[in-house]
Structure 1
Amino acid sequence: MKHNQKKTAFLFLWLFICMLVCLGTGLLAVSRSEASFYKRAAVMAACAPEKAGEMMRSLKREQPEKVEKGEALLKQYGYEAGLFTRADSAGLLSILLLFFLLLSGGGALWYAMESRRHRWRIQELSDYMIRINNGIYDTGIGNREDEYSRLQDEIYKTMITMRESREEAKKGRENLAESLTDISHQLKTPLTSVSLLQELLEEQVKGEDGRQLLVRMEQQTDHIRILTSALLTLSRLDAGVLPLEKKEEDLQEVLSAAVESVRSFTEYKRQAVRIQGEEGKRLCCDLGWTGEAIGNILKNCSEHTPEDGCIRIRAEQNAIYTRILIEDEGPGLDPEECRHIFDRFYKGKSQDRHSAGVGLALAKSLTENQNGELRAENRKEGGARFVMTFYAKGN
């Protein structure tokens, strides 16, 4: 409010100065006109003293017929209309230019100072928001009262509310992760008991039908175990409580560990896994969890690649990122799958019915929590391609 009053006062002062300059310039012009007229009248009187009285009376009265006759006589001697000499005009213009420069310079200086103050205040408020976002809840930035003081108070209130909401949400996710951890531990005991009962039943069940039922029980038990483990990991990732020990790892070792984790799937379908471009490259990541993410992608590729097919892994690296491309020889992805393939519990049209539908969602979360991104696309030659990109520090 006070700043607006100052600006209004400055504007009125500026207009007042401009009016004074215009008034002074007008008075100066009148004064110069009178002086010039007086000098010329004196010269004329000195040239014809016997007719000075008649000339003075003629100057005081307007006589149009004599004006026209006099103008014709003056033109014979090279005098045109115009009272000031060039010197008089140049002097007046110089004074006007000086006043204009002074006023413009003062206005430009005031504008520069105001712009600098505004930039400084905006930067101060920006730093203020950063401090609050980092948990430094100071009560303000001094006791100045200007057009930004109210905005400063609103920023403080908004940032405090957002910070508290974020902390409450984080606490809720942590509580959920703890609850899921407890549930996971509680499920381990009955799952272990079911596994033991299955082993006992194998000794007593006779006939092909009974064995088929046992196989299906084992599959469902494994399905529950895998699903529970994946959901627990996802909840811990969401809550930000999953420890990821990132360090420089040999990329060849990371990819080899991932391929080894799915060897039983690929060997069962007689599929080949070929790796290229990994030699001599290093990746800053958590070895175990990154191998888990790549393994989940490889498992998906194995499910869609026909028997005796091939899964290809190619590594690229530059100063900005390390990229891992995993390609299969399956039917590819339709547009619906491309949009939802990383959603939790989503199963594509050709997905294995025993799949839990969380493997790719887990792979994406693990990648993004290590400063990376994961996307899926179709190859021109046919089949799907998963592009996993890990960005270097600072990118």
Structure 2
Amino acid sequence: MMDFLKDEGQKRYFGALAVILAVASIFAVVIWQVNGNQIKEGSVQHDRCLVSSLMEQGVSEAVIAKAFAEKEFTEKGTDLLKRLGISETTELYFMPEVIDIQKGTGRLLAGLFFFLWISLLLLAGLFFSRRERVYQQAVRIIDQFMKGDFTEHLPQMEEGCLYRLLGKIDGLANALAAGNEEAIKTKNFLKDTISDISHQLKTPLSALTIYNEIIASDAENKETVLAFTQKTQTALDRIEGLIQALLKVTRLDAGAVAFEKQAWLLVDVVGRAVSELLVRAEEEGKKIFLTGEENTYINCDLQWTSEAIGNLVKNALDYTEQSAEITVSWNQSPETTRIAVSDNGKGIDEKDIHHIFKRFYRTSKRKGNGQRQGIGLGLPMARSIIESQGGTLSVQSTKGEGTTFTITLPK
């Protein structure tokens, strides 16, 4: 019921109004007392004059005292006063004493009403001028909201219905700003994705065109046809791999992947990640080692987490020389599980290390044996997978000693 007093402006307004009314009440009491004193003085003066006149005419004091003590009146007395011009119907003009009292009281009442009018007008003017400034500020900021500028916020420094309303409008504006920002991000994301796809498909498609022209121009030569047919298949495999990787990255970035997290033996997760890479490592003369407690459990999505770890191992194979050693190790603390993928390669250049998680980024100097060439999506995909499960992916690299990628997931 008294919620309107939570508004500091209204609270001050009603407080000041109460003070003004209290002062006016005190002033009214003073006027009442002054008026009473004036009536008393007039009555005493009238009685003094009457008594003096009667005594000069020889009327005894006893008779005068008895007359003043009398509470009743007679018709003869009333008729005499009427003949003297004194009755209830007598105009105030013929009663100067009463007119003097009335004038004094009127001046005091005029002062009281003047004080009330001026005080109330000043108080109302001050209150509504402050409210007008709040309204104008709110209108200006809402106009900015309508133009897409959400840098300012509506005033919410006080309590009360008005500021709660402004707070709700500001919250709505923040939601619109977030939606607008998300829409811009989505638009830029689609634009970048289309640009990336176009750019990445251009090279293998150009190669396919050249291979087909060569095959068409030398169709009689079986060796040429066979060689360039194999190259065509390689280019097609590359396009398929690129499209599959792009689809996965796009789904991850769009938040369209539903991770099915449950407890898995970490050795099984890592084993699944490297199973298809062991043959490649052997072909390239490299070794993959797994180290960690076999009974360690991890709460994760098996398929996606294995893919993230596999991408890190694949990256290590891409950027190490023959006879390199790649180690996948893990350990747990009371709160987290850490998985490290380390290699003893040449390390990552300082100018490259801050960009390796960008899509399609590849280091300027390839350190591997060149048997395979990645498309630059493995590391960004690995980071998206880990971060989508509430974890982090970090990297440390020392020139000439090697690189370590560390996955940290909540236990």
Q: TM-score, normalised by structure 1?
A: 0.54
Q: 1:225 aligns with which of 228, 240, 244?
A: 240
1:11–1:376 CA distance, 2 compared to 1 (3 A): farther
SS at match of 2:275: helix
Q: Deviations over 1:228-282 (max 9, x none)?
A: 0000011111221123211111100000111112123211112111111141111
Instruction: Give the corresponding residue for 1:371.
Output: 390
* 2:356 matches 1:337: no
Amino acid at match of 2:272: A
Instruction: Give the corresponding residue for 2:265.
Output: 250
Structure 2: stretches of 5+ with no match in the other structure:
1-5, 20-158, 199-204
SS at match of 1:296: helix
Q: 1:206 aligns with which of 210, 219, 222?
A: 222
Contact 1:277–1:316 (Cα < 8 Å) also in 2: yes
How far did residue 213 of structure 1 move?
Answer: 2.9
1:204–1:357 CA distance, 2 compared to 1 (3 A): farther
Contact 2:345–2:400 (Cα < 8 Å) also in 1: no
* 2:403 matches 1:358: no
Matches within 5 A, 1:61-76: none
How far did residue 170 of structure 1 move?
Answer: 9.1
**Counterparts of 1:327 and 1:169 in 2: how far apart (Å)?**
38
Matches within 5 A, 1:88-107: none
Instruction: Give the corresponding residue for 1:6.
Output: 11
Contact 1:247–1:286 (Cα < 8 Å) also in 2: yes
Contact 1:304–1:328 (Cα < 8 Å) also in 2: no
* 2:305 matches 1:290: yes
SS at match of 2:341: strand
* 2:311 matches 1:281: no
1:6–1:322 CA distance, 2 compared to 1 (3 A): same
Instruction: Give the corresponding residue for 1:236.
Output: 251
Q: Deviations over 1:170-203 (max 9, x none)?
A: 9879999xx9xxx9xxxxxx9xxx9xx9xx99x9
SS at match of 1:242: coil
How far did residue 285 of structure 1 move?
Answer: 1.1
Contact 2:349–2:399 (Cα < 8 Å) also in 1: no
Amino acid at match of 2:222: K
Instruction: Give the corresponding residue for 1:382.
Output: 401
Instruction: Give the corresponding residue for 2:287.
Output: 272
How far did residue 161 of structure 1 move?
Answer: 1.1
Instruction: Give the corresponding residue for 2:173.
Output: 158
Contact 1:322–1:390 (Cα < 8 Å) also in 2: yes
**Counterparts of 2:391 and 2:333 in 1: how far apart (Å)?**
14
**Counterparts of 2:182 and 2:361 in 1: how far apart (Å)?**
30
Matches within 5 A, 1:35-46: none
Structure 1: stretches of 5+ with no match in the other structure:
15-143, 184-189
Q: Deviations over 1:339-378 (max 9, x none)?
A: 0001000010233573211111111111111111112111
Q: Deviations over 1:286-341 (max 9, x none)?
A: 11111111111101101222212210111011121111111111110111221000
How far did residue 215 of structure 1 move?
Answer: 3.6
How far did residue 157 of structure 1 move?
Answer: 2.5
Q: Deviations over 1:99-154 (max 9, x none)?
A: xxxxxxxxxxxxxxxxxxxxxxxxxxxxxxxxxxxxxxxxxxxxx83573254133
How far did residue 9 of structure 1 move?
Answer: 7.2
Deviates more, 1:280-289 or 1:4-13: 4-13
Tell me the C-alpha RMSD between the 2 structures. 4.0
Contact 2:347–2:400 (Cα < 8 Å) also in 1: no
Q: Deviations over 1:52-99 (max 9, x none)?
A: xxxxxxxxxxxxxxxxxxxxxxxxxxxxxxxxxxxxxxxxxxxxxxxx
Contact 2:346–2:400 (Cα < 8 Å) also in 1: no
> How many pairs does the alignment contain?
247
Q: 1:304 aligns with which of 306, 313, 319?
A: 319
**Counterparts of 2:306 and 2:259 in 1: how far apart (Å)?**
12
**Counterparts of 1:13 and 1:281 in 2: how far apart (Å)?**
74
1:204–1:253 CA distance, 2 compared to 1 (3 A): farther
**Counterparts of 1:204 and 1:362 in 2: how far apart (Å)?**
44
Contact 1:290–1:366 (Cα < 8 Å) also in 2: yes
Amino acid at match of 1:349: S
SS at match of 2:250: helix
* 2:406 matches 1:391: no
Contact 1:249–1:282 (Cα < 8 Å) also in 2: yes
How far did residue 211 of structure 1 move?
Answer: 4.5
Larger Rg: 2
How far did residue 218 of structure 1 move?
Answer: 2.7
1:378–1:164 CA distance, 2 compared to 1 (3 A): closer
SS at match of 1:340: coil
1:239–1:286 CA distance, 2 compared to 1 (3 A): same
Amino acid at match of 1:266: A
1:216–1:172 CA distance, 2 compared to 1 (3 A): same
Instruction: Give the corresponding residue for 1:38.
Output: none
**Counterparts of 1:349 and 1:173 in 2: how far apart (Å)?**
26
Q: TM-score, normalised by structure 2?
A: 0.52
